[in-house]
Amino acid sequence: MSQPKTKIDKKKKEKQRERVVIGFMFIILAFWVIVLFFTVKSMFFPSKAVVEEVATDHFGVGGFTEYDLALAKELMDKDGDGICDVCGMDIDFCIESGQLQCNMGGKTDKLNIGVLDKTKQKHHYHADFKVYIEGKELNFNQEQFFVKSRFIHVENDVQGDSREVIHMHATGVPLWVFFESIGMKFETDCFTVDTGIEYCNNAEKSLKFYVNGQPNSEFGDYVFNEGDKISISYGDRDEDVSSQLDSITDNAKNH
């Protein structure tokens, strides 16, 4: 004898409810498994994105470094009112467009910096360089020196020649910008290292500057050309620096 239809319907509904409850429980369980997985992953296996964010958090408006921002405001907004002294535009707009020095004027014989080439395709120049202080070579292959200015810098190059190649990503960027960005100073008669120690000309010692093996009188104001070999040396006035000049690499061509 068959069961009444109402009892059969009731059992079907109960089974459907059971399936819904079980399915809901599986969804909750799966959710917490996923949460647990990503929690453990973030604790023990930090993602590359997090590392990159930490590594690039010194960039600000327009992709400028903190140093670039400070120098741009020093060059374009001397009165600090937020307006470019030359063109009258908002200073952040000028910076966002890649200007370290206003490209509508304000150029001088010693300072004529072009717009930052963010694509690295149009203006990207390289030079081999070395700095010797009292016969000892300075090591620029250190994290605190990498890309402190977007305009001119040393990079953590995969080729392994970070300490020997300067990159320039605009026209007209003088060497003093690079050294100032890493806490050093390259002047006509003094070279200051990042610890603040000054090495200046005196009766026995002198600062020497060579480009492609030839003495150069521009010192920190020099704007290098592609493939230049740059040597800065502080030591005895009559010191033979030929070995220092010979030590300069030829790695710029690899970039």
The pLDDT tens digits of the residues spanning 33-62 come to 676 665 555 444 444 333 333 334 456 677
Examine the domain organization and report whether 177 and 221 are in the same domain. yes
pLDDT given at position 56: 45
The structural domain count of the chain equals 3
Examine the domain organization and report whether 62 and 34 are in the same domain. no
Domain membership of residue 99 (yes or no) is: yes
List the domain range (segments joined by +) for residue 21: 1-45
Domain membership of residue 190 (yes or no) is: yes
Q: Which residues contact 214 (CB under 8 A, 6 or more apart)?
A: none
If one compares 74 and 49, the residue with the highest pLDDT of the two is 74
Examine the domain organization and report whether 152 and 207 are in the same domain. yes
HSE (side-chain half, CA atoms, 13 Å) at 64: 24
Helix, strand or coil for residue 48? helix
Examine the domain organization and report whether 32 and 135 are in the same domain. no
Examine the domain organization and report whether 140 and 240 are in the same domain. yes
Rounded to whole angstroms, how far apart are CA atoms 129 and 244? 10
If one compares 109 and 188, the residue with the highest pLDDT of the two is 188
The H helix count followed by the E strand count for the chain is: 6, 10
Domain membership of residue 14 (yes or no) is: yes
Q: Indicate the average pLDDT of the chain.
A: 85
Examine the domain organization and report whether 100 and 160 are in the same domain. no
**What residues pair up with 125 in beta bridges, in sequence order?**
168
Examine the domain organization and report whether 232 and 141 are in the same domain. yes
Domain membership of residue 120 (yes or no) is: no
pLDDT given at position 35: 61
Domain membership of residue 115 (yes or no) is: no
Token representation of residue 4: 């009444």
Domain membership of residue 21 (yes or no) is: yes
Q: Which residues contact 42 (CB under 8 A, 6 or more apart)?
A: none
pLDDT given at position 97: 93
Examine the domain organization and report whether 132 and 227 are in the same domain. yes
Which among 234, 230, 155, 153 has a CA at the least distance from the CA of 193?
Answer: 234
Question: Nearest 5°: phi and psi at 244?
Answer: -70, -40
Examine the domain organization and report whether 58 and 12 are in the same domain. no
Domain membership of residue 113 (yes or no) is: no
pLDDT given at position 6: 61
Domain membership of residue 116 (yes or no) is: no
| Gyration radius from the chain CA atoms | 30
Mean pLDDT of 159-182: 91
**CATH number, position 169:** 2.170.130.30
